[in-house]
Amino acid sequence: MNKLLHNLFELDSPESAGTKLQLRVFELFTVVYTLYYSWEWAYYIQRLSDVILPLGLANYIDVEFFFETNLAFVNAGLITVFILVPLITKRLRWTYAPAFVLFHIQYVVRFSQGQIPHSSNLIGFSLLGLALGGVFIRDIKRALPFAFGFTIFFTGLAYTSAGVSKLIASGLTWPDGYHLWLWIGEKSVDLLSRTSELQLNPIQQLALSSRFIATLILLSGILTELSAFLLWWKKFRPFIFTLLIMMTFGIYVTMNIFFKAFVIEFIIIGYPWNRFVNYLLNYSNTIKFKAASRWLLY
């Protein structure tokens, strides 16, 4: 257990400029995408009128009053304030906690119509990590590594759980190529209804041409998910994140579903960029770098 905690929450060269830069980029990315989703959802919420599928806190409080007012914009404004204060000042980091609660409320109001996407889940976990770190670990030098490791832990747990859930629901036959044929057909109907035209790409044509090839595509996906817990160890992390990125692009080319935020965050947290930055700094003018990045670092 101690070794696992070390791999998750203790970074290489914690006081180096490279590590500080990678952690702050992770924090900045989380803030930017939280703001993006919060305001995008606020505009969409104005189009809603009824709760069809209550999620999270919406099971305990009535959120329909968001539909008839401008509260979604007020909520987005509060999230903006709460989330920018600790990012800019590097203090009052506990304000990430109310930002997370309000972000969750914005999420359950937006997706109260019966369809729940995965696109913002990783951002939510990242923000939760920042919130917990801000409440229980006031020192930014320890709070950011905690949020970073927290996000990696739940990424590994979520993907591994997804793979196990597939096997529980469908058994060992889940990777059957017939299933991929079905899903490609279903997504093709969605695309046809949106654009009034349908043209399968070469990967989709290849998958549909052979049940064996379609089975191999699904098999590679579920094996990647089942191995995601290896993210918890540093030596496996770059390889597993690379497989997850490849799987994400595989989902895109076969079913036209792309999790852009996932790919960007995987690139940020999945590789030892701190070592690369430190290596570059050894051959550059570090004084100029530190002066230029004084705000970004801590």
User: What pLDDT is attached to residue 290?
Assistant: 61
User: What pLDDT is attached to residue 84?
Assistant: 97
**Which region among 12-16, 53-57, 172-176, 224-228 has the lowest average model confidence (pLDDT)?**
12-16
Q: CB under 8 Å to 181, separation ≥6 — which residues?
A: 207, 208, 211, 214
Question: What's the CA gap between 54 and 136, in Å, rounded?
Answer: 30
Q: pLDDT digits over 39-50, tens only?
A: 999 999 999 888
What integer is the mean pLDDT of 227-232? 97
**292 touches 17 (CB < 8 A):** no
User: What pLDDT is attached to residue 188?
Assistant: 80
Query: Is residue 292's pLDDT more than 60?
Result: no
* Percentage with pLDDT > 90 across the chain: 67
Q: pLDDT digits over 68-112, tens only?
A: 889 999 999 999 999 999 999 999 999 999 999 999 999 999 999
User: What pLDDT is attached to residue 98?
Assistant: 98
Confidence of residue 298 (pLDDT cuts 50, 70, 90): confident
User: What pLDDT is attached to residue 289?
Assistant: 62
Mean pLDDT over the full length of the chain: 91
25, exposed or middle or buried, with CB in 10 Å at 0-12, 13-18, 19+?
A: middle
User: What pLDDT is attached to residue 115?
Assistant: 80
Structure tokens at 14: 């914690």
Structure tokens at 220: 């590679």
Confidence of residue 280 (pLDDT cuts 50, 70, 90): confident
* Percentage with pLDDT > 70 across the chain: 95
Q: pLDDT digits over 166-209, tens only?
A: 999 999 999 999 999 998 888 887 777 776 777 888 999 999 99
**51 touches 58 (CB < 8 A):** yes
Structure tokens at 58: 């919406």
What integer is the mean pLDDT of 236-248? 97
Does 52 or 27 have the greater pLDDT score? 27
